[in-house]
Amino acid sequence: MTMIEPTTVTAEEREAILDAVREYAEIELAPHAAERDEKHIFPRESLHRGGELGLGGIYVGEQFGGTALSRTDTVAIFEELAKGDPAVAAYISIHNMVAWMIDTYGDDDQRAQWLPALTAMQQFGGYCLTEPGVGSDAANLATSATRDGDDYLLTGVKQFISGAGEAAVYVVMARTGEAGSGAKGISAFLVPGDAENLSFGAPEKKMGWHAQPTRQVIFDGVRVPASAMLGDEGRGFTIAMSALNGGRLNIAACSLGGAQWAIEKAVQYVHERVAFGEPLAEKQSILFAIADMRTELQAARLMVRDGAQAVDEKAPDATMRCAMAKRFATDAGFEVANHALQLHGGYGYLQDYGLERVVRDLRVHQILEGTNEIMRLIVGREMLRPSGSASLQRSGGNQMRSAS
């Protein structure tokens, strides 16, 4: 396991990075978001250009072209990307999670083989954990990896895989232990996208996220060398779970970005729209609605920053704080976008205004990276531990010190 220490950037460097990301989102993502959604276009060329900007390896060390930024810095990056297109921003998050897993748990040969093209986003990554009928109970996955001499044979089906059919490499969680061995029997493998006996289901017909393909990934005796195992045998579930804190923060940040775009559209609209002889912006009910939307969004943003800080500091309660941030921010982001649509009246329901697309895209954030019900389980269980109340007190004290 390779621990990459985050790069420390100055306030000026951070702002320069965000300016570049903002420009990329405004030029490459936002102008084409509606067309990508309508025609289900995966923006390969725009992603390649994002790789030139450094967006393909934001957690990867400099040795392989990454920037190794902190989680505090990167949640701000994903918020800016999502203002341009939440669906594409979410895929960039998944791609970066794959690159981080290879950089963190891969050996020198694996890192040299895959990371240069991934960090440049000349190639794409996919993450295969979820299976049909398993969902949140990932420790009971059924995809098997059977030893055959110097190789493993992978057999099984993965469900809801973003980038399926587009990725050059998939991080695949498969069972190397006996059936019923639970989390301890799971190992991780790097499977090339062109591997023999690897195939894909039909594109899923989804409510949102039309700009990224989602399909089943089917393993019918896919042969990979033992050297394709990522990390140690039986450590796959640990590897999968270690990536979730960052993934949850990124999806939360994507919700913030989409909702921020929506509230800005709503503010502009209520200034322009006249009803019953006065602008909507003059009506107290509208003012209250905008105020509540802004307040919820800012509260969510602070929670996401807190979760990012917890990961950067390797805080013992980081998983709980990330779960709280993910639950709150994805709920708030969807509600804010939905209220923005409501403020537009019938126009909000039209594709031309973009609100309905963002509402559809943000809805799935409440499901993936662990459903928000699972986030509640994580927080509730942690709070009921003997150390739970002490964690709450420490968190409050940290907030007081940060404010002083």
The helix (run of H) or strand (run of E) holding residue 72 is: helix 71-84
How far is residue 6's CA from residue 312's CA, in Å, rounded to a whole number? 8
- Per-residue DSSP letters for 2-55? --PPPBP--HHHHHHHHHHHHHHIIIIIGGGHHHHHHHT---HHHHHHHHHTTT
Contacts of 177 (CB under 8 A, 6+ apart): 184, 185, 186, 234
Question: Do 297 and 332 contact (CB within 8 A), yes or no?
Answer: yes
Question: Do 304 and 329 contact (CB within 8 A), yes or no?
Answer: yes
Q: What are phi and psi of 241, to 5 degrees?
A: -70, -30
How far is residue 230's CA from residue 105's CA, in Å, rounded to a whole number? 6
Q: Determine the residue type at 389.
A: S
**Direct distance between the N- and C-terminal alpha carbons of the chain, in angstroms, rounded to an integer:** 38
How far is residue 86's CA from residue 122's CA, in Å, rounded to a whole number? 21
Residues known to be catalytic:
369
- Per-residue DSSP letters for 86-108? HHHHHHHHHHHHHHHHHHHH--H
Query: Rounded to whole angstroms, what are the CA distances from 21 to 28, 73, 97, 160, 324?
Result: 10, 12, 18, 28, 27
How far is residue 307's CA from residue 371's CA, in Å, rounded to a whole number? 17
